[in-house]
Amino acid sequence: MEKKLTSLELAFIGDAIHTLFVRNWAIKNFNKSLNEIHLICSKFCSAVHQSKVLNSLNLTEEEKDIVRKARNVKIKHSAKNAEIKDYKSATSFEALIGYLNITNQIKRLNEILLISVK
């Protein structure tokens, strides 16, 4: 029997997927030093940016359910440079990314990842 992942486990996976996507995108689209690439990536991977991306998405009911569950998880810490509401939204965004990945909804996953770098 396959284990059902928790919202935080989905977010853990989603964070890695989003970060890797942003790093690949930045290296392909900018002819800059790695330090400059890192700064670009930091902006796109921030809790504030991820929160804005999540709020701009037109979510399905299934996606809204994943986001709601992740947003309602009790957290023990938060990002250093973000308010708690942005941190919770970013965690929800990452959980959505993780969920889309593990359910093989690759077209939708790629759509959201591309939106996240605009």
User: Does 74 map to a domain?
Assistant: yes
Domain count across the chain: 1
CA Rg, the chain, in Å? 14
Residue 76 pLDDT > 80: no
Instruction: Tell me how many degrees the CA angle 55-60-63 measures, rounded to the nearest 5.
Output: 70
Please name the residues in contact with 54: beta carbons below 8 A apart, sequence gap of 6 or more. 67, 89, 90, 92, 93, 96
Whether residue 57 lies inside any domain: the answer is: yes
Average of pLDDT values for 45-63?
97
Q: Which of 88, 114, 112 is nearest to 100 (CA)?
A: 112
Q: Which of 15, 63, 86, 94 is catalytic?
A: 15
Does position 57 have pLDDT exceeding 80, yes or no?
Answer: yes
Q: Is 15 a catalytic residue?
A: yes
Domain that residue 107 falls in: 47-118
Asked whether residue 96 is domain-assigned, the answer is yes
Question: Predicted confidence band at 2 (pLDDT cuts at 50, 70, 90)?
Answer: low
Angle, vertex CA 56, rays to CA 55 and CA 61, nearest 5: 70
Residue 104, sorted as left (phi over 0), alpha (psi -120 to 50) or beta, turns out to be left
Give me the CATH number covering residue 117: 1.10.1520.10
The predicted pLDDT at position 81 comes to 76
pLDDT in tens, 32-41: 999 999 999 9
